[in-house]
Chains A and B, each alone.
Chain A
C-alpha cells in the first residue's frame, strides 16, 4: 500500500539531510587538522572577546556596587595647604547653605600626611601615607565607609585610642598580617585592628603622583580624635565630604558650600566624585580596557574569519568536480551548496564551542587576577549569558558567511567547467603574468615562490592580512607596555639625575628653613647634603587645564635640579614637563595662567591667579612636575619657608638609614626615595612579565596556526606540482625551501602590515586611552628591541617555518597516484 505523499517527502528530506550530514562530516574528517586549527582561531577570537568583555562588565557592576555599598561622597571640600578650622565649623557652614535640604549627609574629616613604619625584623617598610580621621560614634564613617576585609572593625570606644585600620591594599601588597602594629609620624606606635577598603583607596593614587601606589602608600583610617592627637591638631578638621540627594543639584550645593567655607577665611578645593582619582581611574580604566579588548579581539577574530574563508574556498575547490557532476545530474545549486555550507556551519559551530571554553577559562583566569590585584568589597562575577550568546551568534554567523561566499561562487560555474579535468581545467595564472616582465634573480626555483603567491592572490592577501591582524595585536600589546616602561624609565632617570639615592623629605607643614626641626634634618648623622624646597599644588590654564606640583628650589644647587630638555632656560619662570606644555598649548617664552596658593597667614593659604613665563621644559614624563627658582618664593609670600627637603645620604649610609633616622624627627612627615614611585611601577611591570610571555606565546600559536593552514592548503593545491618536481629528481628539501621562501614573503608582508597596525594601536593607547586614564604621565610611543625581535621571530620566522609541518606528507607522497589526474 502506498504511503501518503507527505510522509514520503518528509522521509526523503530526512534521508537527504542525514546523507548530507554524513558526507560533510567526512569532509571535516578529511581536513580535520585544518578544521581544528580554524575552529581554534575562531574560538580564540570570540573567546578572547567574551572573556575579556566579561571582566569589563564584572568590573563595571562591581565598581558601582562597591561605591554604593560604602556610600562614596558626591562632593569633597579640602582646605588649601595647611589650613584647618575647628571641628564643627565646616559642617555648620555646609548645613547653613540655602539648599541645605539637598544634602543627604555631611562628614567632617581630618586628613593629614603621615609616615608609616611597618618594618619587621630586617625588612624595612617605611612609606608615606595619609591619616584620615572621622567620627566613629556610629561604628564608622557614614560617608566613604570602611569595609573591613581582614581583622576587625573599630568600635566607638576606640575613639581617641591608638587604634587604626590600614588600607587593605597596603596590607595585601606587603603581605602584612591581618592585624598588628605600626609606627606613624611622631614615633607613636599604633595598633591596626585590620585592613579596610574605602572608595578613595580602591585605586591608590596619592595626590600629584602617578598611579598604582598600593604597596608604597599607606592609608591609615582612624577616629577623628585619634587623628587629631597623632597629628598634633587637637580639635581641628580640614576636610569635608557630603552626599547630595538624588533630586538635589550637586553643582549648586558645591558652589554654596565652597562660598560658605570661603567665608571662614580659608581657601578650599572642591572635588566632585567623578574627579576623585580613584573613582575616575576605576571607571575610566574599565572603558579604556574594554575598547582595547574589543580591538584586540576584533583583530584576532578577523584573522580567524580570513583563515576560515581560505579553508572553505579550498574545500569548495576540492569539490569542484563533484559540484559539476551534481549539476549535470540536475540537482539545484541550492541543494549542491548545502554540503560545503554544512561544513562551514560545523566549523563555525566548533569555533563557537571553543570560543565558549576559551571565554570561560580566560574569564576565570582574569577573575582571580582582578580579585587579587584590585580588591573591592563587592565582586559581581556572574556568567554573562547574554554576552556569550551574542558572541556565539557573531562567532557562528560571520565565519559561516565567510564560508558561504566561495560556495556561492562554486555553484555559479557552468557544469562543463566544473567537470573538466586535465589541462582544460587549468586556470589562469592569477597575477603571475605581472611578474613576467620583471626579471628576478636566480633560477626557476627562486622564481617559483613569487609566481605561486601571485597565482593565488586572494588567498595570499587573506593569509597575509590574517597573520598581520594577529601581529598587530602583539605589537599593540607589547608596544603599549614598552611605552609605559619607557616612560617609567625616563621618569626614573629624570628623578635620579646625578643623585640616584636622593630622598624627598616631606615636612610637617610649611616651616621656616631655620626652624630647629628643619635644621635637625641636615644635622642627622645619616644625612649628607640637603636643600629646602617649597612644594605647592597649582593649576595651569591653557588649551587644557593641567594640575601642577610646583617645586620651588635653588636651581643652581649641587644636589639635584631638573634636566632641561631642548632649548636652554630662558630667564626666570616656570619649568614645565613637555607633556604639560603640549596640553597647555604653550612654548618656552610664552606666559601661562597659573592658579597657585599664596600664604595669607601663619598657617593659612589663599589662591591667586598669576601669569608666569614658561622658562624651560624638563624631560620628566610626569606631567604635573613643575619647577621654579627660589627667587619665586617672594611671589607666594613664602620666603625662607619650606615644606620639603631633598636629602642625600651621607657617605656610608643608605636611603633606608636616612628614612629610619628621620622618622624619629618631629618635623618630618615622611622620607621616601625620590625614585620610589618609578621603582614601584618597575616592580609592578616585572610581575606582568610572565603574563606577557604567556600572551606572546598565545599570539605566536595563532600566527603559526594561520600560517600552517595556509601552507597546508598550498601543499594540497600543489601536490601535482610537487610530484612533478620529485619525478624530475628535485629533492624534498628543495621543494620545502621554496615553500619556506613563499611563506617568508607572506611573513614579511604580514609583519610590515601588522607592524603598521600595531603601531597605530600603540599610538591610540598612548594618545587616547592613557591620556584619559593617566593624564599625569606623558607617554610617547616606544618599541623596545625585545619587541622588535619578538616581531621578527613571530611574524617572519614562525610563519616561514610553517611549511615544515608538511614535510612528512611530502616524503610520503604517492608519486604515481598524484601524477595522474587528481582532484
Chain B
C-alpha cells in the first residue's frame, strides 16, 4: 500500500538541513504503524511526503499504486482526494460547519454520495452530537469528528499526525481505539507521534532519528492492549 525507496528530503538553499536520508519503508493494507521519534527526527516530514503535502528531494514514493514522487500537481490533488485521509493534531475541522457537515465535507470531496454522515458519526461515538458546531464540542469530540471526516472519504490510507497530542489520556485512548479499528477494517494507518507509550499498541513501530530509520519492527515488549497504556 505504501512503498518508500531511498527517500530523502533536504531543506534550505545555503547549508542544507537533512530532514530525511535514504528512507526505505513498506506498509501493507490493514497495518497499524506508529512512526516514533523525538522532535526534529523527520517523522512529520515523512508523513507529509506520504500524504503528498510535500515532495522528496530524492528517492521514490508509491502509495496506493500511485508514484507520487513523479506525479504532477493535478495528479497530487487527485491522489489526496482518492487515496489518503489526514487527521491532524489540532483537528482542523471547519468551524463554520456542524459535526455532520464536516463529515459530509469528506464525502463530498471524495464524491461519495452514498455516505450518511450521521451513521459515520455514530461509528465514532458521536451519534448524539451531529448538529453541534466545533466550538460546542470537546477536544476529543472534535478529533472524533476529524476521524469521521477521514473515514467518510473511504480512502485506503489514513495518516495521523500526533492525533492525541492535544487530548487527555482517556480521550487519547479512545482515539487510538478508533484508529486501530480502521486498520482492522483493512486501511493502512500511519500514526506519527513522539509518545512512546502509543507505540505499544501498534502492529509495527518505525523509529526515526536525525532523518534515518533506526529501527523497524513490532513493539519491543509485544503488542499491548489499550487498557494497559499509561501516560
In the complex the two chains form, what is the Cα distance from A451 to B96 in whole Å?
5
In the complex the two chains form, what is the Cα distance from A608 to B221 in whole Å?
122
B108:A426 contact, CB within 8 angstroms: no
- Asked, given contacts A448-B96, A821-B89, whether A729 binds B108 with beta carbons under 8 Å apart, the answer is no
CB distance from B102 to the nearest CB of A (A): 8
Contact with B along A407-443 (1 / 0, CB 8 A): 0000000000000011110111100110010000001
Residue B71 at the A interface, CB < 8 A?
A: no
Which of B22-30, B132-140, B183-191, B207-215 forms part of the interface with chain A? Answer: B132-140
A816 proximity list for chain B (CB < 8 A): 44-45, 48, 53-54
A444 proximity list for chain B (CB < 8 A): 97, 101-102, 104-105, 108
B85:A819 contact, CB within 8 angstroms: no
- Asked, given contacts A444-B105, A729-B81, whether A423 binds B54 with beta carbons under 8 Å apart, the answer is no
Residue A455 at the B interface, CB < 8 A?
A: yes
Residue B106 at the A interface, CB < 8 A?
A: yes
Residue A447 at the B interface, CB < 8 A?
A: yes
Name the residue on A nearest B131 (C-beta). Answer: A436
B94:A724 contact, CB within 8 angstroms: yes
Name the residue on A nearest B86 (C-beta). Answer: A727
CB distance from A764 to the nearest CB of B (A): 40
CB distance from B166 to the nearest CB of A (A): 5
B51 proximity list for chain A (CB < 8 A): 727
Q: Which of A427, A436, A445, A728 contacts B98 (CB 8 A)?
A: A436
A728:B88 contact, CB within 8 angstroms: no
CB distance from B78 to the nearest CB of A (A): 7
B108:A445 contact, CB within 8 angstroms: yes
CB distance from A774 to the nearest CB of B (A): 53
Contact with A along B107-125 (1 / 0, CB 8 A): 0110000000000000000
A428 proximity list for chain B (CB < 8 A): 133, 135
In the complex the two chains form, what is the Cα distance from A721 to B95 in whole Å?
9
Q: Which of A421, A427, A821 contacts B135 (CB 8 A)?
A: A427
List B45-99 residues whose CB lies under 8 Å from chain A: 45, 48, 51, 53-54, 74, 77-82, 85-86, 88-98
Name the residue on B nearest A724 (C-beta). Answer: B92
- Asked, given contacts A423-B90, A423-B139, whether A443 binds B53 with beta carbons under 8 Å apart, the answer is no
Q: Which of B48, B94, B142, B161 contacts A448 (CB 8 A)?
A: B94
A447 proximity list for chain B (CB < 8 A): 97, 101
In the complex the two chains form, what is the Cα distance from A410 to B48 in whole Å?
35
A819:B96 contact, CB within 8 angstroms: no
Name the residue on A nearest B94 (C-beta). Answer: A721
CB distance from B43 to the nearest CB of A (A): 12
- Asked, given contacts A724-B88, A821-B89, whether A422 binds B133 with beta carbons under 8 Å apart, the answer is no
A731 proximity list for chain B (CB < 8 A): 74, 77
B96:A728 contact, CB within 8 angstroms: no
Residue B153 at the A interface, CB < 8 A?
A: yes
Q: Which of B74, B88, B104, B166 contacts A819 (CB 8 A)?
A: B88
Residue A820 at the B interface, CB < 8 A?
A: yes
Name the residue on B nearest A425 (C-beta). Answer: B90
Chain A CB within 10 Å, residue with most, of B51, B92, B106, B139:
B92
Contact with B along A485-513 (1 / 0, CB 8 A): 00000000000000000000000000000
Chain B CB within 10 Å, residue with most, of A422, A427, A429, A444:
A444
In the complex the two chains form, what is the Cα distance from A145 to B158 in whole Å?
93
CB distance from A623 to the nearest CB of B (A): 57
In the complex the two chains form, what is the Cα distance from A447 to B86 in whole Å?
22
A331 proximity list for chain B (CB < 8 A): none
List B131-160 residues whose CB lies under 8 Å from chain A: 131, 133-135, 139, 142, 153
CB distance from A741 to the nearest CB of B (A): 13
A729:B82 contact, CB within 8 angstroms: yes
In the complex the two chains form, what is the Cα distance from A684 to B48 in whole Å?
67
CB distance from B212 to the nearest CB of A (A): 20
A730:B90 contact, CB within 8 angstroms: no
In the complex the two chains form, what is the Cα distance from A443 to B153 in whole Å?
14
CB distance from A453 to the nearest CB of B (A): 9
B135:A819 contact, CB within 8 angstroms: no
A422:B109 contact, CB within 8 angstroms: no
Residue A720 at the B interface, CB < 8 A?
A: yes
- Asked, given contacts A436-B131, A455-B95, whether A728 binds B82 with beta carbons under 8 Å apart, the answer is no
Residue A531 at the B interface, CB < 8 A?
A: no
Residue A632 at the B interface, CB < 8 A?
A: no
Q: Which of B45, B109, B133, B134 contacts A728 (CB 8 A)?
A: B109
A728:B135 contact, CB within 8 angstroms: no
CB distance from A733 to the nearest CB of B (A): 10
Residue A815 at the B interface, CB < 8 A?
A: yes
Name the residue on B nearest A424 (C-beta). Answer: B139
B108:A429 contact, CB within 8 angstroms: no
In the complex the two chains form, what is the Cα distance from A444 to B109 in whole Å?
9
Residue A454 at the B interface, CB < 8 A?
A: yes
Residue A710 at the B interface, CB < 8 A?
A: no
Contact with B along A193-226 (1 / 0, CB 8 A): 0000000000000000000000000000000000
Residue A452 at the B interface, CB < 8 A?
A: yes
A443:B106 contact, CB within 8 angstroms: no
In the complex the two chains form, what is the Cα distance from A445 to B111 in whole Å?
12
B81 proximity list for chain A (CB < 8 A): 728-730
Chain B CB within 10 Å, residue with most, of A427, A433, A455:
A433
- Asked, given contacts A444-B105, A448-B94, A455-B96, whether A426 binds B44 with beta carbons under 8 Å apart, the answer is no
B131:A721 contact, CB within 8 angstroms: no
A429 proximity list for chain B (CB < 8 A): 95-96, 133-135
Contact with B along A278-293 (1 / 0, CB 8 A): 0000000000000000
Contact with B along A805-823 (1 / 0, CB 8 A): 0000000000110011100
Name the residue on A nearest B79 (C-beta). Answer: A729
Q: Which of A423, A720, A819 contacts B134 (CB 8 A)?
A: A423
A725 proximity list for chain B (CB < 8 A): 109
In the complex the two chains form, what is the Cα distance from A730 to B77 in whole Å?
7
- Asked, given contacts A455-B95, A728-B86, whether A426 binds B80 with beta carbons under 8 Å apart, the answer is no
B77:A426 contact, CB within 8 angstroms: no
CB distance from B133 to the nearest CB of A (A): 5
A821 proximity list for chain B (CB < 8 A): 89-90
A426:B54 contact, CB within 8 angstroms: no
In the complex the two chains form, what is the Cα distance from A311 to B140 in whole Å?
34
In the complex the two chains form, what is the Cα distance from A448 to B98 in whole Å?
11
In the complex the two chains form, what is the Cα distance from A469 to B108 in whole Å?
38
A728:B97 contact, CB within 8 angstroms: no
Name the residue on B nearest A428 (C-beta). Answer: B135
Contact with B along A727-761 (1 / 0, CB 8 A): 11111000000000000000000000000000000
A427 proximity list for chain B (CB < 8 A): 95, 135
Name the residue on B nearest A430 (C-beta). Answer: B96
A426:B95 contact, CB within 8 angstroms: yes
- Asked, given contacts A447-B101, A728-B85, A729-B77, whether A423 binds B133 with beta carbons under 8 Å apart, the answer is no
In the complex the two chains form, what is the Cα distance from A433 to B86 in whole Å?
26
A448:B135 contact, CB within 8 angstroms: no
A433 proximity list for chain B (CB < 8 A): 133
A426 proximity list for chain B (CB < 8 A): 95, 134-135
Name the residue on B nearest A454 (C-beta). Answer: B96
A729:B78 contact, CB within 8 angstroms: yes
B48:A729 contact, CB within 8 angstroms: no
A422 proximity list for chain B (CB < 8 A): 89-91, 139, 166
In the complex the two chains form, what is the Cα distance from A421 to B165 in whole Å?
12
B91 proximity list for chain A (CB < 8 A): 422-423
- Asked, given contacts A426-B95, A724-B88, whether A819 binds B53 with beta carbons under 8 Å apart, the answer is yes
A421 proximity list for chain B (CB < 8 A): 90
List A509-533 residues whose CB lies under 8 Å from chain B: none
- Asked, given contacts A432-B133, A433-B133, whether A819 binds B108 with beta carbons under 8 Å apart, the answer is no
In the complex the two chains form, what is the Cα distance from A444 to B104 in whole Å?
7
The 3 tightest CB contacts between A and B, nearest first, are A729-B81, A451-B96, A729-B80
Query: 7 A-B residue contacts at CB 8 Å?
Result: A423-B139, A426-B95, A432-B95, A730-B81, A816-B53, A819-B92, A820-B90
New A-B contacts (4) at CB < 8 Å, excluding given A448-B96, A451-B94, A721-B94: A424-B139, A432-B96, A728-B80, A820-B89
